[in-house]
Chains A and B, each alone.
Chain A
């Protein structure tokens, strides 16, 4: 590729947002831009943002799909508060996103689509591109994407409608020029995806991508280009990974390290379905995936498989969690290991099915009837889903218990570079299987963990019955009042005792100060970025991010006591802060956002400032 280095402006990081109709391929080009940036050695964080409707009426606000990413030469923890550059494929995409673009931001417009009908569908009474003030406000680049794409493909045999569909890659090629991105990963992607089944499409998209790139070279308005050098990361082999992918790999790795077969049962639900889909292609790894008739059944299948000795896993989202509750109670009283992944989305009910939220914490902690405490952990970033899957399996098998693992839509769909672990370095996970040579007493416990042993159907001489009715230690049904109290206490003590196995809290910042920020889940990136900035500005502020939400790490209270004030930012009405408030004597301040969107670094900083002297 011809490049003119003298025209490059060196910057630390940039935020780009692609927006268009949900059929325009915005997620696809966003993903490609991400790959290309990762290949260029930048750190990245992404935020796909798509509507609940698969194809809402074309050109309307309801159908706008977006993809934002931040890439930089430093540690990038969030997809960015606001875009530096916005690509809008039609008037609706412009209308839905323009408020986020700061003055002077780069605005790339597909002018071909700014026709009367599209303008009116988007609710514009006049064309904003004809407004002088609007034109002055942004660094406006108008491209005739449709015509340019058709022109670039004039020598190919594609039908006109097929040609037009390639226009997203023209826009992508142009943005590659602006940010000096390498084309190779995308050209390779075309080859891998289409070379076999539709070689003409692979060829056409390659032509269009290059045409978009070269156009930049010839355009006066695109003269300012940006250069972002490599991010300083630890040496090693990296790949890009989304939260759902990391979850899939973490579960497969855990099964392998626990030497159990992985059986996954699921029912399609946004945003957890990619876990079912991702595991279903791993038959080569011995993974069994069952698509159940409903959420309840998926949980039942998993429990049956657990009883029979498999590593059993389900994943769902909020509404599915509601349906699984009764079975989770059964898993608790029968003390069978099973991992329940909840990829949270906006609720209650169908709520905001394609937007993020952290509002299933209280449900995870308390949704069962009876006294039924369970381990609850939460992943804090896309790649952390891998580590959390391993941790969830460790807890389930070590303590013979169902474990709830919280993810959320933001980290499930978002992606970041991931240093690929060496499989041999992943610790083995031990099982508590019963031995046919020894006496088996169903609820006799390991004095250390209070976990019972598991006998598997097929093991000779260990025949026994489990079930929802309360049992005594021997596994016999017992209605004895004292026994019920004893068993309830034992199950609770077992879960509480997990805290003994947890590492001490890793604080971001010193252990004493004016303000402590406590976070959990997908808000990690935004909180860390805000804290880092504010510490550089000289504020006495620290943060900790909880992976274990039940039980809490044993030193949590001590750490909390080292600060004057504590604030808990959450994408819900204050669920963790409620739990902290009811568990510890220290007062906590809740900071909520319930808009289906992640925190911006700027809004966190603004809020934290209010609580600092």
Chain B
């Protein structure tokens, strides 16, 4: 799909690093994500000049300044609109949209919805730290109910949005989750996102060291992650825990935990099937949240074959130009002209 002009095979992480000082807070999860993206891009077989990174506003949205690619730091919540324009203008580009939970799901929720339903071939990385960082610590649309912040001293009263369920609701064709503390999994997920033709939505759980430190610790720290993270692998049973001794099975329309898979051959467990076109399964996965369930990581849903928005637009133009391009002079003249003679 992507035509290459430069020696993309020789690219390394260094080619994607800018000379700018990175200005996130020391210890911010964004550094790890930046590193993962800079390690992913050279391995995609895409020429460097074909990458465009578009972002909105927020800590995460400073991302383009730290990537030595074409980049556009836009306005709050509207990056999906700009990314759409870039991609439709030139479908050959590899467009990456960097957003956060406030940028993407609060002020920009509308645009994100429409980007996902249109299925543009764009990779969306939504850094979810469940807080407004750049404005110094107000609760965000993904913060848990009762979140005490500067703007909600008695606790927030609104219910959070579930990013994965939001993307599924918009019928996104690729929905995944990864975490800033796992380089290997991030790179693997970003590569899969680029490989998918259509909008790829990736929620990256990201730690805000200043205003929401350790918010994901109950599921991601060294002691807890074995029991709290469930890595999704296509065609494999949903298992987790030490030695993968626990699993997930269906009980009616719900899922439940099988505390010990010992002595069973695993046949009762759910098999991960991200390519199932019925959204019910992915929706069930999206409901598996702390503390009742392990948090699924990886690709929830991946549907190939749905035509992208930009391809449909190009196709309509090509179809109408099948017998040649329109003549401007004929267009201006129209069908009902008349001649005035001297």
Contact = CB atoms under 8 A, between A and B. Distances in A.
Partners in one complex: yes
Which one of B67, B85, B335 has the highest number of Cβ atoms from chain A below 10 Å of its Cβ? B85
16 contacts: A235-B340, A237-B340, A284-B326, A285-B325, A285-B328, A288-B317, A290-B84, A300-B85, A303-B82, A305-B85, A309-B90, A420-B337, A423-B329, A457-B86, A468-B74, A476-B20
Interface residues of B, number: 64
B240 interface: no
Contacts of B308: none
B111 A286 contact: no
Interface stretch (B27-35, B46-54, B157-165, B171-179): B46-54
Interface string B68-80: 1111111100111
A297 B317 contact: no
A300 B82 contact: yes
Contacts of B89: 261, 263, 288, 304-305, 307-310, 312
Contacts of A422: 329
B88 interface: yes
Contacts of B265: none
A297 B109 CA distance: 12
Interface string A452-479: 0000011111111111110000001100
A283 interface: yes
A151 interface: no
Contacts of A299: 81
A463 B90 contact: no
B337 A238 contact: yes
B73 A307 contact: no
B49 A466 contact: no
Contact of B338 (A238, A252, A285, A288): A238
A35 interface: yes
A467 B84 contact: no
Given A301-B85, A303-B82, 17 more contacts: A41-B338, A192-B335, A233-B340, A239-B337, A252-B328, A253-B328, A290-B313, A294-B110, A297-B80, A297-B84, A301-B82, A308-B85, A308-B93, A326-B78, A459-B49, A460-B5, A467-B73
B254 interface: no
Interface of A: 35, 38-39, 41, 185, 192, 233-240, 249, 252-253, 256, 261, 263, 265, 282-288, 290, 292-294, 296-310, 312, 326-327, 330, 334, 420-423, 457-469, 476-477
Nearest to B16: A463
A457 B82 contact: no
B166 to A, nearest CB: 15
Given A238-B337, A238-B340, A239-B338, A301 B49 contact: no
B331 interface: yes
A415 B230 CA distance: 66
* The 5 nearest A-B residue pairs measured at CB: A304-B85, A300-B81, A467-B73, A284-B326, A308-B89
Contact of A420 (B47, B86, B333, B342): B333
A469 B20 CA distance: 14
